[in-house]
Each structure stands twice: as structure tokens, then as C-alpha cells.
């Protein structure tokens, strides 16, 4: 960096550039919010789906699984799990987890969900699957 | 040390290192669970161990940032800290709150913990990295505000340098963007959209300002290069950081329900994110080459150069590897992401904290630098940990490429767990490399207890 480029010039570019790109980010975010209702299927968020999301969080599902690719990479993607197993299959799988795990295998805890809770979780996962996420994942295996 | 109140940094640094050890131990548990699936099940399921691993990381880095700021700001401002007592009180509050949270994760089922701690009042839990109970989150805000108040008041009553300005912007940004942790809409797309305003704008935004400020401070002290030159570099680097990093958030908006134009914005701007990291590498080497003095603390200079290189490799190169949307379509949420995460966090944020500790701790203990013997051991630990993380990253990258091929890209995609079994060899190699990392970390701690002839305080 030559002597012609001074520290105060660098500082001004820092402030100017930061403000400009932050405002651009806000503008893009604003536009995204106007488009989201067509993509996030918010009209279908029933109290049951909301309950499912709360259970998803309170049982820390993201600590092992991914949802639309985000989370931990220890267990399968669940954003499209209803495609793989169907809602009934998902519920049956969760219900059938052995309390002490499966010897030597990655094991999911037995959470002792009620039927109402299982229905809510399945409804939430079905809702996530319906979101327009640019055709991700590449195939049904997630 | 120049100012008595800088001493409050010491407990912060000690706590940071202690929590770092905890993070690595739980990392080893997780690594083993990857290959021996039911290890410690059901006592410590994977999700619990992972929360402990990642939350300890965040907390020890925050301890390091706070300790570093408490050490650096009085010297930059040429005045005593506004309130050392407040700093010490906040230390204990943060430590106790952090410890209780970890104990809570390990002893109470997460859902029970959520009910006990007010998740029904404001639902904030159960989201990656932001798993902390509501009361812990509120505690973090209180500690952060008291810390910022303390630091800001110190800067206001003293000299205002460019380094402390950049640090303050970084730290205030950290606090402001954490507030999005309290926003958890029922609409999962919105939830994810704003979750990144905490997570991405932290690690690929304001935290880099903290990193840059710390690096600039230690380079001034150890190389004796003119402050004007170093501060100019710092401004250029943080400019590039925010110009690329803010819109670079878009690389998380490819596949979560947000419009497709983010694939363009996110790919282009995040492809620029390696540039500021490369700037840091060149900055560190350039300044050390132009040094006007031979600082006796060679270990601190090594950490400074190390963080410059490893942040570029981990955050820059390994980030770029999977940031372009057509690539990310296949790699999103695989071991490629894990590989990038490990080297980026170590290279950028673990190393910059270790650099600050390496520079400041001897001075806090009344000497300019540790004995040669102690420094040699510390440099051994540098190489063991750094080479380990490189190999952990390479093994996870290999695992990730195979995973992408087997599960995503081949003509007959395999189910997740079938693919995982086929790549177990790489998980085993990662685990053994993790053991070497732990040995390096133990050597690092041992270096604090090695005596020998020490250089007198300057």
C-alpha cells in the first residue's frame, strides 16, 4: 500500500462500504419477505404444525438430524422424511425406538410421545416437506 | 503490565482454557459415537454431547474475547479499566451460568430442562448453537451489556485508537446480533432466515472484526511496526470482511425456502469471503517480516502467523470449496460442512484467542515472555494441535466427498446410514487424530507450568 492511500481513506471506505452493503442486505431481505408467503406455505401452519415445531425444538432433534440441510450430520435429513417413510412410517419409527438403544448402532432415544404429540411431529415434518426449497435435497435419500 | 486493571483478564483466560479442554473431551465422545453408535447411550446421547461440545466452544471463545478486550483496551486507551470490580463480578456470573447450563444439559432431559427454565414463556430453545435455556440467554445479554459498558466507558475516558474502534464495533455487533436468538417465529423458514443473523453475522461478520483487532494489537506489540501502517491494514481487511460477509449470508439462503436469487447473491459474495482472510495472512507475514524489534515471546508471534494461515485455509479455502450454489446443492449438510466448521473455528477463533493468551499471560504473570523451555513446549503444542486439525479436516473432507457420492450424486443413491457405514474408516482416523489434538492441548497447558530462566518484564 503506497503512501497516497492513507488510513483515513481506508477508514472512510470501511464505514461507507459497510453501511452500503448492510442496506443492500436489508433491501434484499425485505424483498425476500414479500416473496416468502408463496414459498413457505404459511397458510398451512395449523396449531398442530406449531405444536410439532415446538416438540421438534424441545426434544432437540436438530442435535442429531438436519432439517433442510441444517443441523447435525449424525442422523438422516428429515425435511423430506415423509417422502421416504410416509407420515405413518415416521410415527411408527419414533415409537419403536428401544429404550436402551441398539447395540453398536447409532440409536435414537425413546421419547415416550403420546399419539397427539406424534401426530403433531408428523404434521410439522409434512409441512416442512411442502416448503418450496429450490428442489433440495437432490434425491429422496436426503 | 502497564495498567493494574489489565489483571482482570487473567481469570477469563484461565476459564477459557479450562472450557476448551471440556470442548475437546466431548469432541472425542462425539467422534467415538460416530463409529460406536451406542457409546454412552442412553446416558449421554449424541445430541446432548454435541450441545456441550458446541456450547463450550462458544462460551470459551467469548471468555477469550472478553479477557482479550479487558487486557487490550486499557493499553490502547492508556487508562485504567472503567471498573475492574464489574469485570470480575461478570466473570463469576458468566462462569456459574455457563457451568449450570452444561450441568443442566448433562443431568436433565432437554425437554424437561426447557419446561423448567421458561421455554413456555418465550420459545428460544432447540435451535442449533442457540440451545441455551432462556435464563442463560438473558444472562448472556446481561454479561455482554455490562462488559460492553465497561469497555466502552474505558475507551471514552481514554485515547481512541482505530484498533479499539474496530474492536468495539465487533463487540457491539456481537451483542446486537445475539438478540435474534430471542426471535423464534413458528414459521420455520423465517426462523431459519433470522437464526443466521446471529450465527452467520457473528462468525463471518463481526467476530472477524474482533479477530482483526486482536491480531493488529499483538502485531504492533511484537513487531514494533508503525501503528499507522497496521491500522490501515486493519481497516482494509475489515472493509473486505463486511463487504463480502454481509451479503455472503446469502450462501445460507439457497435451500431453506428463500427465493432462488439468493443462489446468485450468496455464491458471488461468499466467493469473495476468502479475500479478507488472505489479507490477514499477508498482513501477519508482512508485518513480522518488517519487524523493527525481536520480541522475546516467539510463541505469540507463531500463533499470530498461525491464525493468519489457518483462518485463510479453514474459513477461506474450505468455505469456498462448497459455497457455490451448484456445488452446495450436493454438499449441503454433509461432512464437508463439518470439515469446514472444524478448521475455520480453530484457525480463526481458537487460534486468535490462544495468540492473545500467549502474548498477554506472561505479562500478567510479571514477565515479558516465558522461558525458552516453556516456549518450546508451547510451540510443540501449536504444531500438534494445528497439524491435527488439518488432518481432522482432511479426513472429514474425504468422508464428505464419499458421502456426497454415495448418498447424493450416484445413480443409485444409498440411504444415509448405509452410506455412513461405508465411510467409517475416515471417522476412525478422525477420532485418532482427535486424540493427538488432545495431547497437544495438554502440552499447551503443561507449558504454563514449565519454569526456567524468564525474561524480565519490559
* One pLDDT digit (tens) per residue for chain B, 458 residues: 899 999 999 999 999 999 999 999 999 999 999 999 999 999 999 999 999 999 999 999 999 999 999 999 999 999 999 999 999 999 999 999 999 999 999 999 999 999 999 999 999 999 999 999 999 999 999 999 999 999 999 999 999 999 999 999 999 999 999 999 999 999 999 999 999 999 999 999 999 999 999 999 999 999 999 999 999 999 999 999 999 999 999 999 999 999 999 999 999 999 999 999 999 999 999 999 999 999 999 999 999 999 999 999 999 999 999 999 999 999 999 999 999 999 999 999 999 999 999 999 999 999 999 999 999 999 999 999 999 999 999 999 999 999 999 999 999 999 999 999 999 999 999 999 999 999 999 999 999 999 877 666 55
- A75 pLDDT higher than 70: yes
As a whole number of angstroms, the distance between CA B125 and CA B101 comes to 12
Which alpha helices (DSSP H) does B272-371 contain, by range? 274-289, 298-311, 318-320, 325-331, 335-344, 351-364
- Complex prediction ipTM: 0.97
Residue of A19, A44, A134, A135 for testing the chain B interface, max B β-carbons within 10 Å:
A134
What is the per-residue pLDDT across A81-118, written as a single tens digit (0 to 9) for each?
999 999 999 999 999 999 999 999 999 999 999 999 99
- A48: helix, strand or coil: helix
Give CA angle at B49 (B43, B54), nearest 5°: 165
Residue of A10, A14, A100 for testing the chain B interface, max B β-carbons within 10 Å:
A14
Cβ-count burial A49-65 (b if 16+ within 10 Å, e if not):
bbbbbbbbbbbbbbbbb
Which residues of chain A lie closer than 8 angstroms to B262, CB-CB? 28, 32
Q: How are the residues of chain A apportioned to helix, strand and coil, as percentages rounded to the nearest 5?
A: 60, 5, 40
Which residues of chain B lie closer than 8 angstroms to A25, CB-CB? 246-247, 249
Contacts of B304 (CB under 8 A, 6+ apart): B215, B218, B219, B222, B284, B288, B355
Contact by Cβ (8 Å): B35, B431: yes
- Taking every pair of C-alpha atoms in chain B, what is the biggest distance, in angstroms? 67
What is the per-residue pLDDT across B143-183, written as a single tens digit (0 to 9) for each?
999 999 999 999 999 999 999 999 999 999 999 999 999 99
Which residues of chain A lie closer than 8 angstroms to B260, CB-CB? 134
Q: Give the confidence band of A129 by pLDDT, cuts at 50, 70, 90.
A: very high
Residue B110 to residue A56, Cβ atoms within 8 A: no
Residue A107 to residue B417, Cβ atoms within 8 A: no
Residue B246 to residue A18, Cβ atoms within 8 A: yes
* All cell numbers assigned to A63: 442435535
Closest residue on chain A to B413 (Cα): A141
Q: Which pLDDT does position B453 carry in this prediction?
A: 75
Residue B258 to residue A39, Cβ atoms within 8 A: yes
Global confidence as pTM:
0.97
What is the per-residue pLDDT across A9-35, written as a single tens digit (0 to 9) for each?
999 999 999 999 999 999 999 999 999
As a whole number of angstroms, the distance between CA A37 and CA B361 comes to 54
Distance from the Cα of B285 to chain A's closest Cα (Å) equals 15
Closest residue on chain B to A100 (Cα): B42
Q: Which pLDDT does position B339 carry in this prediction?
A: 98
Residue B333 to residue A70, Cβ atoms within 8 A: yes
Beta strand B455-456 pairing with B367-369: antiparallel
Amino acid at each position: 500500500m503506497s503512501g497516497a492511500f492513507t488510513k483515513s481513506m481506508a477508514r472512510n471506505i470501511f464505514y461507507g462500504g459497510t453501511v452500503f452493503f448492510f442496506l443492500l442486505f436489508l433491501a434484499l431481505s425485505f424483498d425476500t419477505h414479500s416473496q416468502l408467503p408463496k414459498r413457505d406455505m404459511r397458510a398451512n401452519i395449523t396449531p398442530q404444525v406449531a405444536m410439532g415445531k415446538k416438540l421438534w425444538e424441545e426434544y432437540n432433534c436438530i442435535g442429531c438430524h438436519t432439517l433442510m440441510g441444517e443441523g447435525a450430520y449424525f442422523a438422516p435429513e428429515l425435511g423430506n422424511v415423509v417422502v421416504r417413510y410416509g407420515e405413518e412410517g415416521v410415527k411408527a419409527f419414533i415409537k419403536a425406538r428401544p429404550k436402551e438403544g441398539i447395540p453398536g448402532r447409532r440409536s435414537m432415544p425413546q421419547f415416550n410421545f403420546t399419539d397427539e404429540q406424534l401426530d403433531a411431529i408428523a404434521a410439522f415434518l409434512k409441512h416442512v416437506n411442502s416448503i418450496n426449497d429450490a428442489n433440495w435435497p437432490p434425491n429422496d435419500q436426503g | 503490565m502497564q495498567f493494574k486493571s489489565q489483571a482482570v483478564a487473567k481469570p477469563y483466560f484461565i476459564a477459557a482454557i479450562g472450557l476448551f479442554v471440556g470442548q475437546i473431551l466431548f469432541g472425542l465422545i462425539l467422534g467415538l459415537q460416530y463409529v460406536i453408535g451406542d457409546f454412552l447411550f442412553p446416558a449421554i446421547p449424541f445430541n446432548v454431547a454435541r450441545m456441550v461440545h458446541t456450547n463450550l466452544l462458544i462460551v470459551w471463545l467469548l471468555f477469550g474475547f472478553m479477557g482479550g478486550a479487558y487486557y487490550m483496551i486499557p493499553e490502547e486507551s492508556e487508562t485504567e479499566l472503567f471498573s475492574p470490580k464489574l469485570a470480575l463480578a461478570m466473570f463469576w456470573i458468566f462462569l456459574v451460568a455457563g457451568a449450570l447450563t452444561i450441568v443442566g444439559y448433562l443431568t436433565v432431559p432437554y425437554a424437561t430442562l426447557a419446561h423448567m427454565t421458561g421455554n413456555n414463556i418465550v420459545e428460544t430453545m432447540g435451535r442449533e448453537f442457540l440451545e441455551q435455556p432462556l435464563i442463560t440467554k438473558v444472562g448472556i445479554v446481561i454479561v455482554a451489556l455490562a462488559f460492553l459498558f465497561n469497555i466502552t466507558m474505558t475507551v471514552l475516558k481514554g485515547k481512541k485508537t482505530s484498533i479499539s474502534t474496530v474492536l468495539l464495533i465487533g463487540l457491539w455487533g456481537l451483542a446486537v446480533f445475539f438478540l435474534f436468538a430471542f426471535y423464534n417465529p413458528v414459521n420455520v423458514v423465517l426462523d431459519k432466515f433470522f437464526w443466521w443473523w446471529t450465527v452467520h453475522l457473528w462468525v463471518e461478520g463481526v467476530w472477524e472484526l474482533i479477530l482483526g483487532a486482536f491480531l493488529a494489537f499483538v502485531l504492533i506489540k511484537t513487531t514494533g511496526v508503525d501503528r499507522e501502517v497496521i491500522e490501515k491494514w486493519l481497516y482494509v481487511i475489515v472493509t473486505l470482511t463486511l463487504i463480502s460477509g454481509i451479503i455472503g449470508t446469502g450462501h445460507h439462503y439457497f435451500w431453506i425456502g428463500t427465493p432462488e436469487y439468493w443462489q446468485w447473491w450468496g455464491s458471488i459474495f461468499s466467493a469473495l469471503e476468502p479475500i479478507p482472510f488472505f489479507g490477514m495472512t499477508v498482513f501477519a507475514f508482512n508485518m513480522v517480516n518488517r519487524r523493527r524489534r525481536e520480541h522475546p515471546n516467539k510463541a505469540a508471534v507463531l500463533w499470530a502467523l498461525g491464525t493468519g494461515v489457518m483462518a485463510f485455509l479453514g474459513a477461506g479455502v474450505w468455505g469456498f470449496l462448497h459455497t457455490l450454489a451448484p456445488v452446495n446443492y450436493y454438499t449441503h449438510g454433509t461432512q464437508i460442512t463439518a470439515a469446514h466448521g472444524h478448521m475455520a473455528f480453530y484457525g480463526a477463533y481458537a487460534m486468535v484467542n490462544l495468540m492473545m493468551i500467549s502474548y498477554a499471560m506472561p505479562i500478567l504473570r510479571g514477565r515479558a515472555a516465558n522461558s525458552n523451555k516453556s516456549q518450546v513446549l508451547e510451540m510443540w503444542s501449536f504444531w500438534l494441535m494445528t497439524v491435527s486439525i488439518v488432518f481432522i479436516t482432511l479426513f472429514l473432507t474425504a468422508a464428505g466427498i464419499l458421502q456426497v457420492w454415495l448418498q447424493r450424486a450416484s445413480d443409485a443413491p444409498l440411504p444415509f446410514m448405509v452410506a455412513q457405514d461405508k465411510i467409517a474408516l475416515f471417522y476412525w482416523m478422525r477420532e485418532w487424530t482427535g486424540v493427538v489434538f488432545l495431547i497437544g492441548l495438554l502440552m499447551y497447558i503443561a507449558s504454563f507450568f514449565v519454569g526456567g530462566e524468564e525474561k524480565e518484564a519490559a
